[in-house]
């Protein structure tokens, strides 16, 4: 390979087939998967170039580079932990960021003046409020122990991060179902605010169910491949 591109078609076909197989096996946020594939493709290119420099043909070099990188299954398993953690962090951050966008409508609908009525009346009107600090604390702990603070804090494994994601999605699902039940059981007149709050909760229930299913499956797959972090 004199330049930056392989001239042998069989070698190109081998590398493309390898990258395609690997792409089909990676599970996680799409952008992260794309970045991994671009990076590994570049790495493969270097590995092939090195071998051609040492006298192999392009086809032999492509074969040897693929053997060095490992089977698509092995490489996908190796990235499963990082991708699982990336999924957990992104999902938890989305729950935290969108939480107030749902909660505000229910607060305005069920208890528009909480500072006048006091905490007890607020808890009676919106009984899921105690779940809020629990979910926020779980989210904060998961983000802190999988991010930059791992230099000082004990690092969460990908399974632990996914467990936190499942717990938060479960708490959010329970909260949304409860406020919907509270509203359905009340005699409040129908109003536009209720439509907003119900729509927001129904959307979030859908997201929570998808998250519960996906995070549980990812955690299960991680247990099967035992990728609990780096060497």
b/e 67-106 (16+ beta carbons within 10 angstroms → b): eebeebeebbbebbbbbbbbbbbebbeebeeebeebbebb
Q: Quote the least distance from Cβ 218 to another protein, whole Å.
A: 15
Q: Quote the least distance from Cβ 46 to another protein, whole Å.
A: 4
Q: Which one, 45 or 194, has the nearer CB to another protein?
A: 45
Q: Quote the least distance from Cβ 165 to another protein, whole Å.
A: 16
Q: Which one, 157 or 208, has the nearer CB to another protein?
A: 157
Burial class from Cβ neighbours inside 10 Å (0-12, 13-18, 19+) for residue 220 reads exposed
Q: Which one, 58 or 77, has the nearer CB to another protein?
A: 77
What torsion do the CA atoms of 140, 165, 30, 26 make, to the nearest 10 degrees?
120
Q: Which one, 8 or 71, has the nearer CB to another protein?
A: 71
Say how far apart CA 92 and CA 162 lie, in whole Å: 9
Binding stretches for another protein (CB under 8 A): 3-5, 35-36, 38-43, 45-47, 50, 68-70, 74-75, 77-79, 81-82, 85-86, 146-148, 150-151, 227, 229-231
């Amino acid at each position: 390979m004199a330049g930056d591109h392989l001239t042998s078609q069989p070698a190109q076909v081998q590398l493309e087939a390898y990258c395609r197989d690997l792409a089909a096996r990676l599970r996680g946020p799409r952008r992260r998967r794309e970045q991994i594939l671009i990076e590994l493709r570049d790495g493969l290119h270097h590995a092939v170039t090195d071998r051609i420099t040492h006298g192999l043909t392009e086809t032999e070099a492509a074969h040897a580079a693929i053997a060095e990188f490992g089977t698509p299954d092995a490489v996908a398993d190796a990235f499963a932990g990082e991708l699982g953690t990336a999924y957990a962090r992104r999902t938890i951050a989305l729950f935290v960021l969108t939480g107030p966008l749902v909660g505000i409508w229910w607060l305005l609908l069920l208890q528009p003046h909480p500072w006048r009525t006091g905490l007890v009346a607020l808890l009676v009107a919106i009984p899921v409020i105690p779940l809020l600090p629990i979910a926020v604390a779980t989210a904060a702990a998961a983000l802190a122990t999988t991010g930059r603070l791992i230099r000082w804090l004990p690092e969460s494994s990908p399974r632990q991060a996914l467990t936190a994601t499942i717990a938060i999605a479960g708490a959010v699902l329970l909260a949304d179902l409860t406020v919907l039940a509270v509203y359905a059981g009340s005699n409040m007149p129908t109003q536009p605010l209720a439509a907003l709050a119900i729509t927001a909760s129904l959307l979030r229930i859908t997201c929570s169910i998808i998250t519960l299913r996906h995070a549980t499956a990812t955690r299960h797959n991680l247990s099967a491949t035992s990728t609990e972090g780096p060497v």
